[in-house]
Amino acid sequence: MRTFDLSPLFRSTVGFDHLTQALDTALQASENSLAYPPYNIEKTGEDAYRITMAVAGFSADELEVMTHEGTLQVKGRTKAEPETGQAVYLYHGIAARAFERRFQLADYVHVTGARLENGMLFVALARQVPEALKPRAIAIHAGPGNAGSTQLTSRAA
């Protein structure tokens, strides 16, 4: 088990609270990287991503996908089995226990959809940068004068 002391970094920074929280979350997540349920994170396009989680044994109404303040949270809660005909397991290897998995989302990344198919939960994400923040090309005008500016003239009073 590794322990990182990041306190010297935090002493000299102001206003980077979200960064310190992200670092703490990343360090905790790396310790629990083998936690249930297993998942994949894929890049499916230039600004498109997909999280695939193995949630065998869960139905769509037992799963909850929500986002809040830049965090994607996936919860699974199994419904209690009816007491009639209680099964006696000789070997119980299928884990259908409750879980909660959190993913920290980057700025402008939003969930665009979720679907459950063959025991796999697919959560689609897309980065949607506002037009005002996208890079834009500036036209270059060749010739005399200032680009796109008008010259103001003054008159004597």
pLDDT in tens, 46-77: 999 999 999 988 999 999 999 998 899 999 99
Angle ∠(4,21,109) on CA atoms, nearest 5: 125
Residue 89 has what pLDDT? 81
User: Mean pLDDT over residues 86-114, rounded?
Assistant: 87
Residue 10 counted as domain residue: yes
pLDDT score recorded for residue 143: 81
pLDDT digits (tens, 9 = 90+) for 104-122: 998 899 999 999 999 999 9
Looking at the fold, whether 97 and 45 belong to one and the same domain comes out as yes
17 and 53, same domain (yes or no):
no
pLDDT at residue 133, rounded to an integer: 82
- Is residue 11 located within the same domain as residue 76? no
Whether 40 and 29 share a structural domain:
no
Q: Tokens 């249930």 map to which residue?
A: 36
The parent domain of residue 53 ranges over 36-130
Residue 29 has pLDDT above 60, yes or no: no
Number of domains in the chain: 2
- Cα–Cα nearest to 96, from 53, 58, 54: 58
Q: Are residues 28 and 69 in the same domain?
A: no
Tell me, what CATH number does 53's domain have? 2.60.40.790
